Structure 1
Amino acid sequence: MRKKLITVALTGTMILGTTLISSPPIHAVGNGPNYGGNESVQTSIYTSHAEMGKFLKEQEMKQDNMELEVIGQSVKGRDLYLVKYITNPDNPTILYLTQQHGNEALNTEGALIFIKEMGTGKMKELADGVNILIVPRLNPDGAAGDVNFSLDDYVADGDHHLTRYNANGVDLNRDHINREQPETKALHENVLGKYDIDYMIDLHHQGAHSEQNGELVSGSILHPTTENVDTDVLQKSKQLGAVVYDAIEPKGWGHLGKYAGGSAETISRNGLAVDYGISTLLFEVRGMADHSYESYVLGQKGNGYLIKQAVTTMESTAKAIADGSINEKDVSFWDTLEVQNTRRTE
């Protein structure tokens, strides 16, 4: 059954702190359990690629320690952006990657909030201890529905059809070996092959809301699971997951589960760990911004805290790497973390 995205009668703006950005009339609004109404995320709107580019350029002008780079173009010619905070090449470096899948929009909204925060006193000092790279949307064509295949199986709302695939109908998170698509080629050639990256978090959505022991599961995490990963890389990946788990689990938004992922190295979580020695973590929030399965499509009430999960993930990991506390994290929780039972979408 097809289902339209839920919209509300609000002006076309996205709220990033106190800065308003004009955006198309597609809205994802709401606060989840224990979500703080005075925090930075109150109303989220799926930001168009043009709006995102404008916002990033404005932030580069405002932030002395931010540099914006175009690393390539999508199939349809949209710029692929890299946001950089590099003050000392000797510092450890983390990469945050969002929206490999075009219908997984909330983590991109979280990344934009995090970028804005990096220009404030709250986060600015982090640049002294960690280099931060952010690719805030790898699949702009899928996010715009500007594709070379039929969208009949996707939910339509106005001019937007958010799809998992890129314009050629390829899942970018299955292209990390062949790297045939311009988006994955740009990522590998101009980010992964160019910068000395120690950690990477790949932020996604998962198919459906689910429960563990009768309690809400708000997302899931997973380290590399290929047998070819180096032992030290795996250990640091698990420590990266421990930082995220310890930051999110006490919030009351719902529990994190262990994602039931496979070992294929075509997937970034596995392939990047093997090819580049990067400690990687998959982070998935529940629900989809747009999907042909009705039960997958996000409602209004949960989106505020789901975005906040993405922001918290970025904040907590950047801080832990900057101050070195990540190196002391206990990874034993992975041994008892329950596997989440839901349709896999990584």
Structure 2
Amino acid sequence: MKKSASAVVLLGSLALGAGLCTPALAGEGPNYGGKETVNTSILTTYDELVAFLQDQDARQDAMELEVIGQSVKGRDLHLVKYLTDPDNPTILYLTQQHGNEQLTTEATMEFIRSLGTGKNAGLLQDVNILIVPMLNADGAMGDVNFSLDGYLAAGDRHLTRYNANEIDLNRDHVARSQPETQALHTNVLAAYDIDYAVDLHHQGTDREADGRLVSGAILYPTSPTVDPAVVEDSKRLGAVVHDAVNSYGWGHVAMYDVGGSADTIARNGVASQYGIATLLFEMRGMSDHEDPSRVLGQKSNGYLIRQTVVTLEATARAIADGSIDSADVSVWDTMPVQQSRE
């Protein structure tokens, strides 16, 4: 049995509705009125994430925590593992390849906590779960070798898309020139028998479909190098997410409009190189950026975190109970393609 940890990790500072005195930025959430403030101090830091993971590892018998490598600046990169049965299908969740896309990591922490409780612990009997949270730890902390002057968020740090070497990790899945992508490929993708993956991101605030701002957008692999059977399984994964999120009043998921077929991005490269059914999910709005149209007011944090939790729970459950095999991929035929609001 694992020992209980004495450390207490305080996550209440997310302050989903905190009123902090910072400049107002563009981007109200769907069905949320007003322009809100953005302050990175309410977001979990790298050190807080590590403390949380270590605490949960001590509390949860089913969980294992592995260091898969280090960032450019020497921060340990972590893999959370729930491997209950080698015969179970396995899903990988990946967050924060881009350091300024933080809310997916906040939601993943909530999901990890739930896997140690009665709410979701039963899932682990029939599915193996791997989670790489905050892959771009340096970018998430603004600890980079270039200036972040002009970034818009207030708070104790800026968050940037790029790693410390100013490289976009989600364009590095062929060259693998950076230690973060090397760690992911060598010690996760090539090391485990993974069936499904969800790559969690954030996009700009101005995308709409059917006259409504979207809460997020999804897409399957579009590289010609991906096995058609893998594409079909990826579409099933997307159908599960679409139906789960859109069952909520705040949910409005569309098809992603900036696909691209290059294997350098995870959606294509992971599917092509490893035969893993892969889904991209782009949540609405970023935590920091130079462009006001990309930064979403923090009043939207609550539903965006909830949207990610719904995605994690729904996909894990569908794989665990086998219902993913009958997911209706025809939803892709009628799903609206998002576009920029004029």
Relative to the length of structure 2, the TM-score reads 0.88
Deviations 1:220-241 (A, max 9, x none): 0000001111011011000000
**1:239 paired residue number:** 236
**1:221 paired residue number:** 218
**1:142 paired residue number:** 139
CA distance in 2, matches of 1:142, 1:201: 21
Per the TM alignment, residue 32 of structure 1 is displaced from its structure 2 partner at its CA by: 6.6
CA distance in 2, matches of 1:301, 1:173: 28
CA distance in 2, matches of 1:126, 1:293: 40
Structure 1: where are the runs of 5+ without partners?
1-18, 36-43
**2:297 paired residue number:** 299
Per the TM alignment, residue 339 of structure 1 is displaced from its structure 2 partner at its CA by: 1.1
Per the TM alignment, residue 20 of structure 1 is displaced from its structure 2 partner at its CA by: 6.8
CA distance in 1, matches of 2:262, 2:229: 20
Structure 2: where are the runs of 5+ without partners?
1-6, 19-27, 33-40
**1:90 paired residue number:** 87
Per the TM alignment, residue 67 of structure 1 is displaced from its structure 2 partner at its CA by: 0.3
CA distance in 2, matches of 1:213, 1:223: 21
Aligned ranges for residues 10-89 of structure 1 at < 5 Å? Answer: 21-22=9-10, 29=17, 45-89=42-86
Q: Does 1:332 align with 2:330?
A: yes
In structure 2, relative to structure 1, the CA distance for the partners of 1:22 and 1:125 (3 Å cut) is closer
CA contact (8 A) 1:219 1:255 kept: yes
| Aligned residue identity for 1:21 | V
Per the TM alignment, residue 23 of structure 1 is displaced from its structure 2 partner at its CA by: 6.5
- Match of 1:263, SS state, is coil
Per the TM alignment, residue 114 of structure 1 is displaced from its structure 2 partner at its CA by: 0.2
CA contact (8 A) 1:34 1:251 kept: no
CA contact (8 A) 1:218 1:254 kept: yes
In structure 2, relative to structure 1, the CA distance for the partners of 1:33 and 1:258 (3 Å cut) is closer
For structure 1, which segment, 213-222 or 189-198, has the greater mean C-alpha deviation from structure 2 after superposition?
213-222
CA distance in 2, matches of 1:26, 1:162: 16
**1:272 paired residue number:** 270
Aligned length: 317
Relative to the length of structure 1, the TM-score reads 0.87
Aligned ranges for residues 65-214 of structure 1 at < 5 Å? Answer: 65-155=62-152, 157-214=154-211
CA distance in 2, matches of 1:25, 1:130: 32
| Aligned residue identity for 1:102 | G
CA contact (8 A) 2:30 2:213 kept: no
Identity %: 64
CA distance in 1, matches of 2:272, 2:175: 14
CA contact (8 A) 2:210 2:336 kept: no
**1:9 paired residue number:** none
Aligned ranges for residues 250-329 of structure 1 at < 5 Å? Answer: 250-260=247-257, 261-329=259-327
Deviations 1:166-208 (A, max 9, x none): 0000000000001010000000000001000000000000012
Per the TM alignment, residue 294 of structure 1 is displaced from its structure 2 partner at its CA by: 1.1
Normalized per residue, the structure richer in strand is 1
- Match of 1:29, SS state, is coil
In structure 2, relative to structure 1, the CA distance for the partners of 1:88 and 1:254 (3 Å cut) is closer
RMSD: 2.1
| Aligned residue identity for 1:155 | L
CA distance in 1, matches of 2:111, 2:122: 14
